[in-house]
Every structure is written in structure tokens, then in C-alpha cells.
Amino acid sequence: MTTVYDPDVLARIRHLYLRARVLTDTTLYGPHRSRRVGQAVEFADYQEYRPGMSLGRVDWRVWARTDRYVVRRQELETEMPSLVVLDLSPDASTGSKDAAGLPDLESTKAGRGLVLAATILFWLQRRGERVGLALLGVAGGPRFFPPRSNRQHLQRLFSELAAAKPEGHGNLSKGLSQVARRIRRKSLLMCITDGMEEPTEWLPALVALAGRGTDLRLMHLFDEEELALQESTSAVFYSPEGGAAHAVDPEGVREAFRDEVEQFFVEVGTGVLKAGGQYIRCGLQQPVELCLRRLASGGSSPAEAP
């Protein structure tokens, strides 16, 4: 078991903390309202008064200023725990370059996933939300940390993130099913994954999660250069998870592979949108801030080219 005294882990914790704080301050903090626990009623908009409405809901101040009878409309806001699901299957250990990654994971999708997870956890915790974490695909099987709001809990989550490595065996479908059994019905669920398993196997689990009333956000990690097959020399391609290897001539299959990639993205994106979630693409060659802004602004289109 990894200890918190591991120098690499300590270095990662510091790095994660700094990256999360900087990104939160520069990207997420300004444009969004803070949510406070216990604030149950929040103003939404005004509506013209119509006969039959309760006079108690008339905003007399507006009447005094404008001589118009309007009724305040309010939205009910309840406490909503948040859970970040990070898929660290071995396939995520590949990638070409990522300036935002961790020192020893700077060129992998896993590094980008860790930074994103840390930033989101930090941001939500700073807003006073209860945050939890699920690590899938790590050595020893999925790890689950239920949502809590205290600072020690965040430190523990950071420690877990810093110690996590993509060395297990990916099974996204099974991991999502386990998460579904352990969360409450009304939750904010942020899933960070490269999705490199058959979508027909894991998308149903995701749909089931969304069906429980969760507010689903899926951040799809990918490496543009990797998927573009930029190399010209032939090589034997293999998956870090094992399985069959194939001799590939990138020049020969580039066109066909691009078609497969486009079809894959459309398949995943459409599946998430059908489940009622938000779909956010996070390419390694793009700044991590762009990915976070997309998260804040409501996602991207499934048909958008990687």
C-alpha cells in the first residue's frame, strides 16, 4: 500500500494542490455562484400577476417603483452531494504530451485526468459542497470515497489521487455499476474517462446512473496526436492492458482509423446526451482550462472533431 510519505506521492500532492488551486482561481471561481448548504429558496424571475394568484406573492416593491403587479418566482434548491469518478484504466497511461500533467504522468491521459479530478474536487469543496471520489481501473480494484465536506476529507482525496496509478485492469461497466449502488439518488456525478471499452458495454451502466436522478457530466479524455496516427513508421501496436497486438502501418490505415475514431466519438457522445448528461471532450493537446470552461458552460457536441 502506498504511504503518504512516499516522496513521489508527496510531490504529486503538492503539484495537484497547486494546479487545482490555480485552475480554480483562474477558470472556475469567477463566473459561478457559490452554493451554500441550507439555502433552500432562491429567486428565479418575475411573472405578471394574474387573477387567482396569491396576493402574498406580489412584489410590492416593484409595484411601488413601476406600478406593475408582478409575482416573484423562486426555485427550490436542495443540498446535492458531488462525486468525481476517475477512470484510470491502463489504456489511460498512454499519450503524447500534456503540459498540465503530473511530473511522471505529464504525457498521459491519466495525468490529465488526475489534474481535472483534483481541480473539480477543490472547486466544489471550496464552494462548501460535499465531495466524494471513485477511482476505477487502479491496482487492487475500484476505490470509493463517499461525499463529505470537511477539509481533512479533501486532503485525503488528494492523497489518494496522488498515489493513484493506471496499473489495474479496466472495467468501466463494472465500476460504474458499483458506483451506482453506493451513491444517493440526487447527486452531481462527474465521470472522467477515455472510454476505451466497448460503449455498448459501459454506456448502459451510465444510463442507469443517470436514471437515478444524478446530474451527469462525462469528460472524455483523448490524445489528438495518438488518434491521428501521426507516426510514419510501422510498429506493433499493443494495449497496456494486454490482449492481441497488431502490426500497424500508420500511413496505410490512417484514413480508415480516422473513420473509426469519428464513429467512436459520436457513439459515446450520443449515448451520454441520450442519458440526459453533459458530454465534455478533453483533448491532451488542448489547454486544461478549455476543458474546465466547457464543463462550466455545458459540454460539447458529440459530432465535434477531436
Partner 1 sequence: MRLELGVPLAVALGVLAALPILAHLTLQSPRNRRAFGAMLLVERMVKRLRRQRRITDPLLLVLRLLGLIGLLGAAMAPTLVFPEAQSTVEGTGRVIFVLDRSMSMGQRISGGSLLDRGKGSIRQRIGEMPQGVQMALFTYDDQVVALTDGFTTDRELVLARLQEVETSLSGSKLAPALLEARRLMDGDPSDVVVVTDEAGPTMVPDASEELSRLVSQGAGVIPVSLAPDDPQNVTVEDVRYAEGVEGGILRFSVLNFGEASREVRCEVALPDSDVIDVFVDLTPGQRAEKQVTLPREAMGGVGSVYCEDEALPLDDRFFFHLPQTGGQRVLVVDGDPGDTPTQSEVYFLERALAPWGEQSSGLTPDVVGPAGVTSLDSDEYQVVFLANVADPRPFASELKTFVSEGGAVVISMGNNITPGRYNEAFGVTLPAKLRKVRDLADRNSEEPVRLRIPAVGGGLFSTFSASGMRALQEIGAWKVMTTEPYQDSEFVRTLLTYEGDHPALIERRVGQGKVMLWTSSIDYQWSNLPLQAMFTPLMHRLVGYLGASSGSSAQRVDALVGETVSIGLGRDVASAEVRGPSGERISSFLEGQTVRFRAEVPGAFVVVGPGDVPLAYVAVNLDHRESDVRTGPSLQEVGAEVDPDKFERREELAPPLLGAAGIAWLLAGLWASRRRTT
Q: Is 93 in the site for partner 1 (CB under 8 A)?
A: yes
Number of residues in contact with partner 1 under rule CB under 8 A: 37
Q: Is 206 in the site for partner 1 (CB under 8 A)?
A: no
Of 188, 50, 65, 199, which Cα lies nearest the Cα of 120?
188
Q: What is the 8-class DSSP label of residue 58? A: B
Give least dist CB 178 to partner 1, A: 22
Which residue's CB is nearer to partner 1, number 24 or number 94?
A: 94
If residue 262 lies in a helix (H) or strand (E), which one and from where to where?
helix 250-274
Least gap, CB of 19 to partner 1 (angstroms)? 22
Nearest to 121 by CA among 184, 40, 31, 28: 28
Asked whether 283 and 223 are in contact (CB, 8 A), the reply is: yes
Please list every residue from 18 through 57 that binds partner 1, using CB under 8 A: none
Query: Between residues 208 and 248, which has the closer beta carbon with respect to partner 1?
Result: 248
Nearest Cα neighbor of 192 from 281, 305, 252 is: 281
Q: Is 129 in the site for partner 1 (CB under 8 A)?
A: no
Closest distance to partner 1 from the beta carbon of 110 (Å): 10
Residue 264 beta carbon to partner 1: minimum distance, rounded to whole angstroms:
6
Considering only residues 62, 80, 248, 290, which one is a binding residue for partner 1 as defined by CB under 8 A? 248
Residue 81 or 306 having the CB closest to partner 1: 306
Cβ–Cβ < 8 Å for 148, 132: yes
Contact residue for partner 1 among 227, 282, 291, 295 (CB under 8 A) = 227
Burial class (CB in 10 A: 0-12, 13-18, 19+), 248: middle
